Structure 1
Amino acid sequence: MKTYNREHFLSAIDQALSIFFKSLLPLILVMISQFSQSFFSLKNILIKASVFIGLIILSFTFSIIKWFNKKYSIDSKKVILDEGIFISKHREIPFNKIQTINISQTIKQRLFSLASIKIDTGNSSTTGSEISIIMEKSKAQLFKDRISKLEKDDNTLNKTNKLSYNSENELRISNKELITTALTKGAWFSGIAIIFATYRLLDDYFNNIIVDIINNIAKYVEGIYSNTMSLQKAIFFIVSILFLYLIFSFVVAILKTFIKFYGFILKREGKNIIISYGLFEKKNYSITVSKISAIYIKQNSLRQLTGFGEMKIESVGYGDEAGENSILFPIANLKKQQFIIKKFLPEFYFEDTIIKVPTRSLKRFILRNLLFSAIPTIILTINFNYGYFSLLLIPIFILKGFKEYKNSGIAKNKTLIYISSKGFKKQISIIPIKRIQSIKISQNYFQKRAQLFNYMVSIQGNNLGTNIKVRNLSGELMDTFRYGIF
C-alpha cells in the first residue's frame, strides 16, 4: 500500500488568506456603493460583520478541504498526485517523462523555510507546472534528489558523452558580470518605466506639486528663448537632465538585475543541469540534458558591439510560468560562451564552419525592410504636418536589413544544426538534430530567380512548438539541408 503525504499546512492558510483578500476589495466597494444614513446603524454593522466572518469561514473551509484532498506519493517508477474537491483528479508521471524538476521559494516561503517543487513533462495542453507541491525546503530537496536518483533516461543523446562530472563543474556569476548584464540590457527602458509609474502615482495624489514643478521648468526653459540664459547654461541644463536620467536608469537596472540573478549558479550533475538564482525569491531548476531542445545565444545591438550575449535554453517546463526565465547564463562573451557549452553541455558544442548567406542576398534583406517602413512613412507624410520626419525611419530599416544580412548563417554536423539570424536582436540557435520535429523550405518567385531560399526548423517548446528561421540562404545548400537532416 502506497504512503501518501500532504502539502505543508501553511499552504492552506496562505491560500485562504489570498482568497479572502482578493474577495475583500470587491465586497468593500459594493458596501460603499450602498452608503446611506443607516450605513452605521447597529443592524447594518452586524450584517456586514457577519458577511466578513462568513467570507473568512468560507475561505478557510475551501482551502483546508482542498489541502486535505491533495495527496502525493512516489514509488520506484513514478510520481503520483491525487487532488480535487468537486472533481477528483488522479495524475501519474513516470520518471522518464519528466522534463524539469524545479524548486523555488517566495519571500513568504523563505520566512517559514518552505519551498515549492514543480514538475513538468512537456505536455503542451497544460499551462504552468503539471505538479506543484509546497513542503519544507529540506523535504523538497530530498524529494527532488530521490526522483533524480530513480529516474531512468532512455534517451540516447547523453550516451555519446563519456565525461565524468563532479562538484568542480560549477560556475558562479560575479558582481562585475551582473553589472555588465544590467548595463547592456537597455537600461534606459527601466528608467522610463519607473518614471512613468511614479508620474502616474504623483499625478493622482500630488497634482499641485506636479503642476508647480512643470511651471518652474517651463519658466526655466523660457529663459533660453528670451536670451536671459546663456547658450552654455542651456546646454549644461539639457545635458545634466539627460545625465541624471541615465544614472537613474542604470541604478534601477542594476538593482533589478542583482535582485533577480543574485547568487546565480550553473552546474552539471551527471545527466542534469542545475540552475539556481535569486535574492528574495530563490529559484532552483533541474533540467535533463537529453530533453533540452536548443541553446540560444541572444544579443541586442549593444551586446553585438561589445561581444556579450545572453545564453538561454529551450526545454519544456522551464520558463513557462510568470516570473520565470529560461536562462542558462545571464551574460557571457564569445570565449566564455564556448567555455560554458564545452564544460557543461558538451553535447551542444559546435565548432564547424558557419556558412554565411551569399552577397547577392543583401539587397533582398534591405528591400524587405524598406517595404515594411514604406507604408507607415507614406501615410504619416500625407496625413500629418510633420509626418515627413518619419523619413528618418528609412536609414534605420536599411541598417536593420544590413544587420540581418551580416548575422544570417547556417551549419550542421552529424548531431547538431547551427542557425544564426535576426538583425538588431541577433539570435544563435544550436539544435540537436534528434530534437527537430520538422523542417520547412520556402521560396518566392524572386528568390528562385536569385537562387535563394528560406529555411525553418520546428522544435518542441513551451508554446506548442518553436520555429527557428533563417532567410535567403544560397540555393546550393538546399539539398544538403533538405535530405541531410532526417
Structure 2
Amino acid sequence: MIANRRHHPASLLFKIGSIIRNSLFIFLILFVFQAGSNSTLVVYGRYAFIAYISWSIVSAMLNWLTTTYALDDQGFYLRHGIFSKTEQAIPFSKVQNINRHTSFFHRILRLTSISFETGIAGDDASVKFDVTTKKEASQLEAIVQQQKDIINTENPTILDETKDFSVAKPTVFIKKTTNERILHFQPTRRDLLKASMTSFSFLLLIPLLGSVFYNISEFINLDERLEYVGASILSSPWLIAIAVTVLVVASFTFGIIHSFIKYGKYEISSDSQRIYIKKGIFSEASFSIAKERVQAIEITQTFTKRILGLAEVKLISAGSLSLDSEELNINSLYPFLPVDQAYALVSELLPGYRIQMDMQRLPRRSLWIRILKPSWIWLIATAILFYFKPKFLSIEETWWIGSSILLILIVLSRVLDFLHTRYCLNEELIQLKNGGFTSTLFVTKREKIVEVEMSQNRIQRACGLSSLQTVTRARPIHTSYLEDVPDQLVVTFHHWYRGRSNEVQLESTK
C-alpha cells in the first residue's frame, strides 16, 4: 500500500527547532548574562554546550535518515535506530484512537501531525507522525479506518512481524458507501460566555501580568516607576475606582478571548462507527474514536458547574489522548454542557449507554459511618496549628478557628458525598455516582469491567455495609469506588457480574 519511506523533511526542521528552544535558557546564561566571564566553569560550560548542540543536531539528522515506515493491508511497519536497528509491526486492529494536532507553526507551513494510539502499554504504544502534510495525514487515516472495517467484517489474518520491508504488497480496495457525519454540537456565544465564567479564565490575567513584569524587571528597573504610578492612583478615590474598573473589564475581556480561542471552533460529530471531536483556532486538535472502543462514560460536575447546571462528559478509552508532552484533553465532550444536553448527547453518540435518572440512594446508616470516621487530615492540621499557633490579622484564636473551619468543610464534604452517592444496575450497564464538592457519574458496560473487588471492615460488617471497587481498562487504568453500600447490593452485583462470562465468550467466537 505504502512502500518503505522516510518521514517528512520538515520533521527534521521541527526537531532542530525543539533542540534550540529547549537550550535557549542555557545559551542566555553562558553567552549573554555571563558574556564577560572568564570563569573555568563558564568557559568549559560553553564548550560542553556547543558539543551538546552539535551532537544533538547530528543525531537528529541521523535519526531522520534511519527512521522509516511502511504500510500494507494489515498494519504499520516501523524501522528506526542509528547503531542498533529496531523493527516494529503494529496491526491496524490494535489502533484505538486517532489524534490530530495542528500547532501554529504547523499551520504556517501548511502541515499537521497525526498519532495512531493503541492499547499497548509502553513507549511504543502509538504510531506518531509529528510532521506530515494534511493530504498524507488524511490518506493514512483513511487507510487505517478502511482496513479496520475490512478486518472487522472478515476473519483477520495474523500479522507477520518478520516481513520484508523492501516490497509493499498491492491492496485491492473495497468500495463502501461513506457514512455521513452528523454534527451534534457547536458552542454558541452564550456557551462561550458561560465557559469563560465557569473556568475562571478571567483570573489568568493577573498572574500573566505578574510574570511579564518579573521577566521585564530582570533587564529594566520598573520598581520606581510603578511606585510613582501606584502612589498617584492611591491618592485619589476616583483613580482607584477607575483602575479597579479597568482591571475587572480587562480580566473579563481576557477570559472571554481565552475561551473563544480555546473553544471557538469546538465541534462534536459522529457517523455510524466513530465519534469526532475538533477544537482550536490558532492551534487545532482533533480526536476520533470508534464507538466500540469506548470503555466508559464519565460525567463530572464541580461545585461551580452544579450551581450553573453544567457538566463535563468524558470518553474513557484504552488509547492515549495526548500528542508528545502536550495534553490535549480532547476526550472531553465540551466541558461546559448543560446537564440535560449532556445526557442527551451521550444517548445520541452512544445509544448503547442509556443513562438512568432513577438511581438507588445509600441507607441512612451510611451517613453516620462517614461522619464519625476519623479524619487524619483534620487531626494532623489541628496538631500543626496548635503547635505553631499562627496569628492571622492579629487574632489570637486563629489556630482553633482554622481547625473549626477545616472540620466543617470535611463534614460538609462527607454529607454531600452521601447525598450524591447513588448506583444503578440495568441489564448490561452499571452506573456509579459519588463525590462531595465535585461529583462524578461513571457509566460502563459489564463486558468492559476487567476486575472487581468487594471489601468489608468491622464497622461496615456490624452495619451490614460493604465497599465496591471496579476496574476498567484504560490509559491509565480507571478505578471506580462505591463505599458503604448495602450487602444486598454486593450480592446482586456478584450475580450481575457473573453474566459477563457469557458476553466475553460470545465476543471471542466472533
Contact 1:77/1:94 (<8 A) preserved: yes
Contact 2:99/2:287 (<8 A) preserved: yes
Equivalence for 1:453: 466
Contact 2:118/2:125 (<8 A) preserved: no
Contact 1:203/1:210 (<8 A) preserved: no
Equivalence for 1:178: 192
Equivalence for 1:434: 447
Contact 1:102/1:286 (<8 A) preserved: yes
Equivalence for 1:158: none
Contact 1:106/1:282 (<8 A) preserved: yes
Equivalence for 1:345: 350
Matches within 5 A, 1:74-89: 74-89=71-86
Of residues 335-344 and 184-193 in structure 1, the stretch that sits farther from structure 2 once superposed is 184-193
| 1:411 aligned residue (424, 428, 432) | 424
Seen in structure 2, the aligned counterparts of structure 1 residues 97 and 128 have a Cα distance that, compared at 3 Å, is closer
Equivalence for 1:443: 456
Deviation at 1:308, TM superposition (A): 0.6
Seen in structure 2, the aligned counterparts of structure 1 residues 128 and 301 have a Cα distance that, compared at 3 Å, is farther
Q: Deviations over 1:201-221 (max 9, x none)?
A: 46645233455566678x76x
Percent identity, aligned pairs only, is: 20
Letter paired with 2:16: A
Deviation at 1:364, TM superposition (A): 2.7
Q: Deviations over 1:140-173 (max 9, x none)?
A: 1121012111104659xxxxxxxx9633344322
Contact 2:7/2:129 (<8 A) preserved: no
- Is 2:149 the counterpart of 1:135? no
Unpaired runs of 5+ in structure 2?
Answer: 154-177, 391-397, 499-510
| 2:340 aligned residue (329, 335, 339) | 335
Equivalence for 1:3: 3
Equivalence for 1:208: 224
Aligned to 2:352, the other structure's residue is in SS state: helix
| 1:324 aligned residue (306, 321, 328) | 328
Deviation at 1:105, TM superposition (A): 0.6
Q: Deviations over 1:105-153 (max 9, x none)?
A: 1111111111111011122223774433421112211210121111046
Equivalence for 2:378: 373
Q: Deviations over 1:41-94 (max 9, x none)?
A: xxx9xxx99x96x87765554333222222222211112222222222222211
Distance 1:271 1:9 in 2: 34
Seen in structure 2, the aligned counterparts of structure 1 residues 87 and 175 have a Cα distance that, compared at 3 Å, is farther
Letter paired with 1:93: I
Equivalence for 1:160: none
| 2:290 aligned residue (284, 288, 291) | 288
Of residues 440-449 and 276-285 in structure 1, the stretch that sits farther from structure 2 once superposed is 440-449
Aligned to 1:4, the other structure's residue is in SS state: strand
Equivalence for 2:256: 254
Distance 2:317 2:456 in 1: 30
Equivalence for 2:269: 267
| 1:355 aligned residue (349, 353, 360) | 360
Unpaired runs of 5+ in structure 1?
Answer: 156-163, 221-228
Equivalence for 2:163: none
Letter paired with 1:115: T
Contact 2:119/2:125 (<8 A) preserved: no
Letter paired with 2:433: S
Deviation at 1:428, TM superposition (A): 0.8
| 1:401 aligned residue (406, 414, 421) | 414
Q: Deviations over 1:227-269 (max 9, x none)?
A: xx9xxx79x979985x766655544433332222221111112
Distance 1:111 1:432 in 2: 44
Letter paired with 1:480: T
Distance 1:188 1:364 in 2: 41
Distance 2:39 2:240 in 1: 59
Equivalent pairs, count: 455
Deviation at 1:189, TM superposition (A): 5.0
| 2:399 aligned residue (380, 387, 396) | 387
Q: Deviations over 1:3-56 (max 9, x none)?
A: 1232221111221233244345435534565846899xxxx9xxx99x96x877
- Is 2:94 the counterpart of 1:97? yes
Distance 1:239 1:421 in 2: 45
Of residues 249-258 and 271-280 in structure 1, the stretch that sits farther from structure 2 once superposed is 249-258
Equivalence for 1:422: 435
Seen in structure 2, the aligned counterparts of structure 1 residues 418 and 3 have a Cα distance that, compared at 3 Å, is same
Aligned to 1:404, the other structure's residue is in SS state: helix
Q: TM-score w.r.t. structure 2 length?
A: 0.79
Of residues 419-428 and 469-478 in structure 1, the stretch that sits farther from structure 2 once superposed is 469-478
Equivalence for 2:281: 279
Seen in structure 2, the aligned counterparts of structure 1 residues 238 and 311 have a Cα distance that, compared at 3 Å, is farther
Letter paired with 2:188: S
Letter paired with 1:473: V
Q: Deviations over 1:258-288 (max 9, x none)?
A: 2222211111123211111111111111111
Aligned to 1:349, the other structure's residue is in SS state: coil
Deviation at 1:374, TM superposition (A): 3.5
Contact 1:443/1:453 (<8 A) preserved: yes
**What is the aligned-residue RMSD (CA, Å)?**
3.4
Contact 1:317/1:462 (<8 A) preserved: yes
Aligned to 2:11, the other structure's residue is in SS state: helix
Distance 2:56 2:139 in 1: 32
Seen in structure 2, the aligned counterparts of structure 1 residues 169 and 279 have a Cα distance that, compared at 3 Å, is closer
